[in-house]
Copies of this chain bind each other. A is one copy, B any other.
Amino acid sequence: MQHGATTAEVERVVAVVRELGYEARPMPGAQRTAIGIVGNDGRVDSSRIAALSGVQEIIHVTQPYKQVSREWRPESTVVTIAPGVSFGGNDIPVIAGPCSVESEEQILESARIVARAGGTALRGGAFKPRSSPYSFQGLGKEGLKLLALARAETGLPIVTEAMDDEGAHLVAEVADCIQIGARNMQNYSLLKTVGKIGKPVLLKRGMAATITDLLLSAEYILSEGNGQVILCERGVRSFDPSSRNMFDLTAIPTVHKLSHLPIVGDPSHGTGIRDKVTPMARAALAAGADGLIVEMHPHPDSARSDGAQSLYPDQFQALIGELRAVAIAIKA
């Protein structure tokens, strides 16, 4: 309550809290009166209380999410997208591949390089969200077929993005894990759809999403009955143009403390610059990431999107070696 709030104002807040079905516990202090809300199950909509006269501030003590929280489920969730490819357990899977599927030759060549170097899954966009309507938007259904071909040849499971409800069903027919991109992290219709589909989901953090926002978006998927969610830190917007995004690696131990869900790092979008990908992939792992997703292109110079942040094949191979060494070091 504000300094100087009247007894009547305090009583009105207490009455409204009770009307909402909770217990209200006033706590008068030297400067102002605080009112505790007890019996709250995490679903109180505070705006009605904030609107009352004499109220200074609403302070949330209970987290607004539930099923994603570690308090709800203490043991870590392991999400398995294909036999032997699990996130949240002892392995550190590496999802790799080009930004977009461009052609049969390109995606098959990519898949072979990923498999040969020791990557664990293949990424590649068939549907691409692009800031400009004039940028390449992906091959669509044709791209999905090519991804299936690449899996058939290499055995690598497929992670690819869905941008809308219709696309989610198409992607689900082919992909082993459906990616929800940063721009759609709060597209709640899409979250509910992939929640209902029930396949594993890779949920990327939005460009200005707090960790709480990310966990609430995951809660949308879990509340539809799909617990197979892998979170992904991919950088947020910042004031510094020296990298494309600010790669917030503290998100990794923070998510591990608050939630039982696994989280992977995306150093390609997290930095946007090829020569930063390897050091920041190592750093993500050292921070405790449950896996990585990196862009690799057989010929980055001629990539139709995100060429500047895609690793060359030999850089990718070297990266896998470095990651193994770091993984051993931090598990020792």
- Interface residues of chain A, those whose CB is within 8 Å of chain B, are 3-4, 16, 25, 27-32, 34, 36, 38-43, 45-48, 50-52, 57-59, 61-62, 64-66, 71, 129-136, 163-167, 183-184, 186-190, 206-208, 210-213, 216-217, 219-220, 223, 236-243, 246-254, 257, 270-271, 274-276, 279-280, 282-288, 300-310, 322, 325-326, 328-330, 332
Name 24 interchain pairs, CB-CB below 8 A, sorted by A.
Answer: A4-B71, A27-B38, A29-B38, A43-B135, A47-B306, A47-B307, A47-B309, A48-B301, A50-B307, A132-B219, A133-B220, A134-B223, A164-B165, A165-B165, A167-B189, A208-B239, A211-B240, A236-B239, A238-B238, A243-B254, A250-B276, A257-B275, A280-B287, A329-B329
Chain B contacts of A282 at CB under 8 A?
286-287, 330
A243 to B253, CA, bound (A): 11
Give min CB distance, A171 to chain B, whole Å. Answer: 13
- Are B274 and A216 in touch, CB under 8 angstroms? no
Given A3-B71, A62-B31, A240-B211, answer yes or no on A129-B307 (Cβ-Cβ < 8 Å): no
Given A30-B39, A132-B43, A238-B246, answer yes or no on A279-B287 (Cβ-Cβ < 8 Å): yes
- Are A253 and B276 in touch, CB under 8 angstroms? yes
Chain B contacts of A246 at CB under 8 A?
236, 238, 246, 248, 250
Given A210-B240, A279-B286, A285-B286, answer yes or no on A301-B51 (Cβ-Cβ < 8 Å): yes
Task: List 9 additional A-B contacts (Cβ < 8 Å) besides A48-B302, A242-B251, A282-B330.
Answer: A3-B71, A27-B38, A32-B61, A66-B134, A132-B219, A164-B164, A187-B187, A243-B250, A279-B288
Residue picked from A27, A34, A247, A300, most chain B C-beta under 10 Å: A34
- Are B45 and A305 in touch, CB under 8 angstroms? yes
